[in-house]
Structure 1
Amino acid sequence: MLTEAMIKEAKPKATAYILWDEKVRGLAVRVFPKGAKSYILMFTDRGKRVMAKLARVEETTLKDIRARAASELLKVQAGEDSVQTRRNAIRNAPTFVDLWTRYETEFVPEQISLGRMSKKTLKEYRNIARTHLLPGLGTMRVKTITKHDIEGMARRMTNTPILRNRALATCSRLFTLAERWEWRNQNSNPAKGITRAREEARSRVLSPSELKKLNGALLKLEKTYPFAVGAIVVSAMSGLRISEVLSLEWSNIDLETSRAILPRTKVGKRTIILAIPVKKILGQIPRINGSPWVFPSSRPSVPATYRQTRMVFLLACEQAGLSGCRLHDLRRSFLTMLAGAGFGAFAIRDAAGHKTLQMANRYVQQGATLSQTAEHGAALVLEKMTARHPEYDYPVGPISYVFP
């Protein structure tokens, strides 16, 4: 029978050997050539002979290991998973990399095909995963990741609160799917309950004088970048997102009825009424080389990109002496002016294409601070933005872009 003294005095040999215990059948100490010693348990599980390591000798006492070995033998006799089976399950359990791979290759294509996710959204998720989630969580087993692990990842993003919130939201979504796929226990999402950073809503609204300066700069750039400038002006005059403007196709525009169809927006398919100034702008734009896009890039088969349009916008802002401006500020300025003109939250929601009144109420609150004179002044400036340069009209034929 094994004793503590016998185990301690056991010397290594040229090959590993085993010292059996007589008190618990199947329990033994395995002594390795380099002197390491481990407690092992031999048993039959589902007709197969199994040898499972229980612990290193220095990690426990003989009394405790006998109790554990007896407990493990009872589990096997009752038909439960053995220690080796459980260990293999943990070793072969999916990692966070496996979770992301299944999400990207299985879940996302289905969502895109159902119209529940855009490729742009997937691109944002990929950037977050590859930059912040996978480096820290990638090799960890999905089932064993804890709230402490997620908090550690979030702590490294303290200086970027908005990105931190997006990363936590993405993480939470992934673990919700892990529960659905039975890779984690139900209601065990480790990303839930972690405090999100406070986000300050951006409130930059261009004043009438700033819009006038921007208009002058855009007119100077119109010869070189006609379609990018046109897209910027349409966005400013309609309140559409710049991505919605750049995705406009001639087949979805009916100038006669002043209607345009937006097949893909954040709220799904939308039909909008084209205001007279916007209709005038679209009526002056030629179809370049049969391109289906209202605002094509240098390749007629491809629409102008956000990156190209943003470059032109920033160049115009620089020339106009405007700082801290973004393309989306044009949309915010338009909707705030609607609020200042007396339009209610429901009208603004419909004009903006929002799902709820939450965002519309922001514009109503901002618009309440605008005086009637300021609203009229801004409207006049916006109307001037539809005027073509007196010595220039859109050219007919291919256009060569040289972006800075």
Structure 2
Amino acid sequence: MAGVKITKRVVDSAGSRATRYTIFDSEVKGFGLRVYPSGLKSYVFEYRAGEGGRSAAKKRVTIGSTTEFTPDEARKRADKLRASVKVGEDPQGDKAKARAAVTVEELAKDFLKEHVKVKRAQNTASAYEDIIENHVIPRLGKLKAKDVSTSQIAKLHYDMRDTPSMANKTTAVISSMFSFGFKMGLMPKRENPANDVEKYEEEGVERYLSTAELERLGAAIHIAETEGIPWAIDPEKKTKHLRKENRVTIISQHAAAALRLLIFTGARLREILHLEWQHVDLERGLLFLPDSKTGKKTIVLNAPAMDVLANLPPIGRYVIAGESAGTEDEKPRADLKRPWQAVRRHAGLNDVRVHDLRHNFASFGAGGGMGLPIIGKLLGHTQAATTQRYAHLDADPVRRASEAIGTQILDAMGGRLRKSNVVPMKKGGG
């Protein structure tokens, strides 16, 4: 079984083949690097339990992914396992029992750490984390992963029916999480319990703001960051202990700036919340995003957006300062739920979502005849089909084409338009 000493160079150079294979280490017997056709690599330890010998069944313990352990760290773990086998222990059997008892919460944490954060873009990883923290763990977290049934996932999906898109995304995340668990041996293999949950049909809800609504929205943001928005007291809730005066919600300057940047740039929420000052170039009017939903992306700033940034005081690493701004463990702001709810309520726009601000930005461009390719570039779409959802708003080119055709036909007929520029239709048949 002895081969070569497993080093980082050996790990990096080990390419995938049609079938999985193992490279064994020359220093610790049974320690190896297992390479799968998918390119996934993990450290393993093989041994024969009991008294050993070739008559004993060979067993294998997966130490962990190459993204989790260095070769030296994995070798030390393998050496400890080898020592335990010599004294009659069966690490694979012990580990199998532990795996059978893994909870959904434990599975979810491993999934985020070893798969999502390693292989997904930062914004996508944050979306996965939000879904798991807000929907999966509260409902399924304490259950044994091996015992989770399709009916339990279907019930969670049904309970989220008022938000069909999020319900479908949650089911997709659960499915991916279980696939990861099976592949990494975190639980016994079986049919993925999320596979048979039927998804809801999603109708594209596109909410665009009128000029009057935008005016109300702008006024509400200004009021929210200055004098404050009056509280909305729910008459059904007990509020006798609340003070009767000064019931207002004041949002921070940075929260107000985030809302304005979403309006003026059409950027995604996390593109703004995760924006760092080092990626802002006011001199050239550009934002250089190293890791958006669609990968590396550049956002072109217009004058209103540049004005927002120019008047925003830097507090820490992130443009939109959160609670930990300026500290060693600074993290980006998680969301804008509270300020947005207060602002949209005051503006009378309770049906408008934060993401609708992105659609609204696109609608102004399409309605202004700027063309879908340009709109796609501004939004950072990598596929033209994604921008096609705004095609019905791009009426200007169609109108120009209709005018050109009508004029040519009129000229060919030798006719002239009436002074009213309207051609009356004759009554009766043609």
TM over 0.5: yes
1:112 alignment partner in structure 2: 117
1:331 alignment partner in structure 2: 358
The answer as to 2:168 corresponding to 1:165 is yes
- Aligned-pair distance for 1:114? 4.7
2:222 alignment partner in structure 1: 219
1:82 alignment partner in structure 2: none
Contact 1:217–1:320 at 8 Å: present in 2 too?
A: yes
The answer as to 2:344 corresponding to 1:291 is no
As a proportion of its length, which structure holds more helix?
1
The answer as to 2:215 corresponding to 1:204 is no
In structure 2, what residue type is equivalent to 1:124? I
1:395 alignment partner in structure 2: none
In the TM superposition, 1:87-98 aligns within 5 A as 92=97, 94-95=99-100, 97-98=102-103
- Aligned-pair distance for 1:359? 3.4
Aligned length: 278
Q: Distance in 2 between matches of 1:310 and 1:156?
A: 23
2:333 alignment partner in structure 1: 305
In structure 2, what residue type is equivalent to 1:363? Y
1:25 alignment partner in structure 2: none
Contact 1:246–1:303 at 8 Å: present in 2 too?
A: no
TM-score, normalising length from structure 2?
0.54
Contact 2:178–2:192 at 8 Å: present in 1 too?
A: yes
User: What are the superposed Cα offsets for residues 207-228 of structure 1, whole Å, 9 maximum, x if unpaired?
Assistant: 1110011112223334364332
Q: Distance in 2 between matches of 1:234 and 1:267?
A: 19
Question: CA distance change for structure 1 residues 104 and 223 in 2, over 3 Å: closer, same or farther?
Answer: same
- Aligned-pair distance for 1:97? 3.5
In structure 2, what residue type is equivalent to 1:203? E
In structure 1, what residue type is equivalent to 2:173? T
1:195 alignment partner in structure 2: 198
Q: Distance in 2 between matches of 1:195 and 1:240?
A: 32
- Aligned-pair distance for 1:340? 1.7
By relative contact order (CA 8 Å, sep 6+), the higher-ranking structure is 1
The answer as to 2:149 corresponding to 1:121 is no
In structure 1, what residue type is equivalent to 2:388? N
The answer as to 2:150 corresponding to 1:150 is yes
Q: Distance in 1 between matches of 2:378 and 2:188?
A: 43
Which of 381, 406, 423 is equivalent to 1:354? 381
Question: CA distance change for structure 1 residues 370 and 132 in 2, over 3 Å: closer, same or farther?
Answer: farther
2:298 alignment partner in structure 1: 271
CA RMSD of aligned residues (A): 3.8
1:76 alignment partner in structure 2: none
Q: Greater CA radius of gyration, 1 or 2?
A: 1
Question: CA distance change for structure 1 residues 257 and 177 in 2, over 3 Å: closer, same or farther?
Answer: same
Question: CA distance change for structure 1 residues 100 and 202 in 2, over 3 Å: closer, same or farther?
Answer: same
Q: Does 295-304 or 158-167 show the bigger shift?
A: 295-304
1:318 alignment partner in structure 2: 345
Q: Distance in 1 between matches of 2:365 and 2:196?
A: 38
Question: CA distance change for structure 1 residues 369 and 93 in 2, over 3 Å: closer, same or farther?
Answer: farther
Question: CA distance change for structure 1 residues 102 and 276 in 2, over 3 Å: closer, same or farther?
Answer: same
Structure 2's unaligned 5+ residue stretches are 1-49, 52-92, 228-251, 400-430
Contact 1:254–1:260 at 8 Å: present in 2 too?
A: yes
- Aligned-pair distance for 1:299? 5.9
Q: Distance in 2 between matches of 1:93 and 1:251?
A: 45
- Aligned-pair distance for 1:331? 1.4
Structure 1's unaligned 5+ residue stretches are 1-45, 48-87, 373-404
1:141 partner SS: helix
Contact 2:286–2:300 at 8 Å: present in 1 too?
A: yes
Contact 2:104–2:141 at 8 Å: present in 1 too?
A: no
In structure 1, what residue type is equivalent to 2:289? L
Q: Distance in 2 between matches of 1:153 and 1:286?
A: 45
In structure 2, what residue type is equivalent to 1:349? G
Which of 232, 236, 242 is equivalent to 2:259? 232
Identity of aligned residues (%): 23
Q: Does 295-304 or 247-256 show the bigger shift?
A: 295-304
Contact 1:261–1:272 at 8 Å: present in 2 too?
A: yes
Question: CA distance change for structure 1 residues 151 and 233 in 2, over 3 Å: closer, same or farther?
Answer: same
Question: CA distance change for structure 1 residues 294 and 153 in 2, over 3 Å: closer, same or farther?
Answer: closer
